[in-house]
Amino acid sequence: MDNTALLESVNLAVGYNQGSSRQLVLHSKINVQLHRGEFACLLGPNGAGKSTLIKTLSGFIPKISGNVLVDGTHLESYKRNQLAKVVSVVLTEKLQVSNMTVFDLVALGRTPYTDFFGTIGKHDKQLVMQAINDVGLQGFANRQLVCMSDGERQKAMIAKALVQDTPLIILDEPTAFLDLPSKIEIVQLLKKLAEEKQKGILLSTHDLDLALQLADKIWLLGQGRELESGIPEDLVLADGFRRFFEKEGILFDNERGSFKVQQKQLKAIRVVGAGIEYKWLSHALNRKGYQTTETEGDYPQIEVDKEANKAYVLHQTDGSKHELRTIEDLLEQITLD
Ligand SMILES: Nc1ncnc2c1ncn2[C@@H]1O[C@H](COP(=O)(O)OP(=O)(O)OP(=O)(O)O)[C@@H](O)[C@H]1O
């Protein structure tokens, strides 16, 4: 099996040339690899340099130094049309082609395979319609892009990348304008393409939760830090998300794999029980500033008693007892007492 990485950076420095002698170097010594069949997500806070890295890896902006290899060959050695058969790129810039239809835009993805006049054949048309369906834009083929929402246009751009039929696909925040079900659909579709067609797919995203669930590899980028890459679980265990994302008052919960807002927890309360009711009751109490504990003490106690159909039994420190059906009623009762 060919083990050459589809995309590789070697001591890559990325940034911007500002005038004749000034350079803004955002990151240097980036060494990463993306292999066939791999679905990688690039994550990092705002301004970390994700778009800059994506644009450098896909040849849209020049590197500062180091090398980018695409399928083992230096990026600069590719002729434009050759490169278009190896890598398709979806950037976030707003489209300037507003009087085009979805079909016309997606069909542009076939350009590397068409003749001098850009004529597209029956097979190309089928691929275009298939890609339009794959991204969930059934019925939109003849719609003008100007008459579509940002999310729909974003799906059309992804369809264009799909019909380009390249082994490597690089996308900069492709799900930024999509609603949650569409985000999941698109990310799943890209993951499936990586798996089934052995493509290498790299996307930058702020959807940490989706990346944790679906990425084969995560690349973490932060300001002034070296890029760290690995499988999601190893990065969590190495405190990667804490180091790259935590801010004052916002904590990454390594157990759950998600962020939580740090609340001032002043009052202790004992919670006894199990199951989903127990989990969401603790959630509500933490949100209201209670520190929940399972240890007995001189503070109120709540039993989660779903079986007996009373749901929540509150024992106050003065000996009073209240049986409540919802968490909302319970929170009100605690405040009243
Ligand atoms: N053309 C440019 N010239 C100079 N500096 C730039 C240019 N484009 C971006 N920058 C700067 O480079 C840094 C990284 O920007 P970049 O867009 O790569 O970050 P990002 O991680 O993609 O951020 P976000 O999550 O907000 O999209 C920022 O400080 C930005 O201001």
pLDDT in tens, 277-328: 889 999 899 888 888 898 888 899 999 876 666 689 999 988 899 999 899 9
**Structure-token pair, residue 289:** 């500033």
Q: What is the pLDDT of residue 20?
A: 77
**pTM for this prediction:** 0.83
**With a 6 A CB cut-off, is 44 part of the ligand 1 pocket?**
yes
pLDDT value of position 143: 93
Give the confidence band of 79 by pLDDT, cuts at 50, 70, 90: very high
Whether 121 lines ligand 1, by a CB cut-off of 6 Å, is: no
Residue 97: partners with Cβ closer than 8 Å, 6 or more residues away: 105, 145
The tens digit of pLDDT for each residue in 16-40 reads 988 778 889 999 999 999 999 999 9
Name the region of 224 (left: φ>0; alpha: ψ -120 to 50; beta: rest).
Answer: left
* pLDDT score, position 215: 95
Summarize the confidence of residues 96-121 as an average pLDDT.
83
Q: What is the pLDDT of residue 43?
A: 95
Question: Rounded distance, CA 161 to CA 128, Å?
Answer: 10
Cα separation values, 7 from 15, 67, 162, 176, 306, Å: 19, 11, 18, 24, 54
Pocket test for ligand 1, best of 27, 51, 55 (most atoms within 8 A of CB): 51
Q: pLDDT at position 296, please?
A: 87
Long-range CB contacts (within 8 A, 24+) of 305-314: 305/273, 306/273, 306/275, 306/277, 311/277, 312/277, 312/281
Tell me the average pLDDT of the chain: 89
Query: What is the C-alpha separation between 75 and 56, in angstroms, rounded?
Result: 10
Phi–psi pair at 336, nearest 5 degrees: -65, -40
pLDDT of residue 265: 65
Closest CA relative to residue 176, chosen from 148, 203, 215, 213:
203
* Distance separating alpha carbons of residues 300 and 239, to the nearest angstrom: 35
Query: Which helix or strand (DSSP H or E) is residue 183 part of?
Result: helix 180-196
Task: Report the pLDDT value the prediction gives residue 310, as an integer from 0 to 100.
Answer: 66
Name residue, tokens 């070296």.
Answer: 226
Which residue's CA is the closest to the ligand 1 atom numbered 24?
46
Has the ipTM of the complex gone over 0.95?
yes
The pLDDT confidence band at residue 251, using thresholds 50, 70 and 90, is: confident
For residue 146, how many other CB atoms are within 10 A of its CB? 12
Instruction: Say yes or no: CB of residue 16 within 6 Å of ligand 1.
Output: yes
Reported in sequence order, the residue ranges of 6-95 that DSSP labels E, i.e. its strands, are 7-18, 22-34, 39-43, 65-70, 73-74, 87-90
- Determine the pLDDT at residue 22: 87
Give yes or no for residue 15 CB within 6 A of ligand 1: no
**Ligand 1 contact, 62 CB (< 6 A):** no
Res 242: pLDDT:
87
Give the residue, by CA position, lying nearest to ligand 1 atom 18: 49
Which residues pair with residue 267 across a beta bridge? 290
The answer to whether residues 146 and 98 touch, using CB atoms and an 8 Å cutoff, is yes
CB-based contact 219:227 (threshold 8 Å): yes
Assign 231 to helix, strand or coil: coil
Which is the closest atom of ligand 1 to the Cα of 173? 27
Nearest to 269 by CA among 291, 244, 239: 291
- Cβ–ligand 1 contact at 136 (below 6 Å): no
Please identify which residue in the block is written with the tokens 């991204």.
135
pLDDT exceeds cutoff 70 at 48: yes
Ligand 1, atom 14, residue with closest C-alpha: 49
Query: What CA–CA distance (Å, rounded) separates 187 from 39?
Result: 10
